[in-house]
């Protein structure tokens, strides 16, 4: 954890932006550890809260705007691809779960 804190002290605001952006885009990479560490560093005076909070908000907003633009540009194609992936995942999970004894 100290490596994360040292990295955040050096690259804090960019890392906070990037972690919230990546989490909002979709991969299951949670930003909570980075956000908690940034909050602790802001509380300790190592990061400026006035820059850390807008960096997190901006990361989330940019990712949401990206999804909005994709929806506006390709609309139903994007929804169909995302739904197909979700349905395939659900089907795979339900097949594995149905073999378990009741």
pLDDT for res 87: 62
- What's the pLDDT score for residue 97? 55
5 vs 86 pLDDT, higher one:
5
50-92 per-position pLDDT tens digit: 999 999 999 999 999 998 898 888 877 877 777 776 666 656 6
Q: What are the pLDDT digits (tens) for 11-56? A: 889 999 999 999 999 877 889 988 998 998 899 999 999 999 999 9
Q: In whole angstroms, how far apart are CA 95 and each of 27, 71, 101?
A: 23, 31, 13
Burial of 78 (0-12, 13-18, 19+ CB in 10 A): middle
Other CB atoms within a 10 A radius of the CB of residue 94 amount to: 9
**Domain boundaries defined on the chain:** 2-70
Contact between 80 and 41 (Cβ < 8 Å):
no
């Amino acid at each position: 954890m100290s490596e994360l804190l040292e990295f955040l002290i050096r690259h804090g605001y960019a890392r906070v932006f990037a972690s919230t952006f990546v989490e909002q885009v979709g991969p299951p990479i949670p930003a909570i550890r980075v956000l908690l560490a940034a909050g602790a560093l802001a509380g300790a005076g190592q990061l400026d809260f006035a820059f850390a909070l807008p960096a997190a908000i901006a990361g989330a907003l940019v990712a949401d705007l990206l999804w909005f633009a994709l929806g506006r540009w390709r609309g139903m194609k994007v929804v169909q691809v995302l739904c197909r992936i979700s349905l395939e995942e659900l089907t795979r999970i339900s097949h594995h779960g149905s073999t378990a004894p009741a």
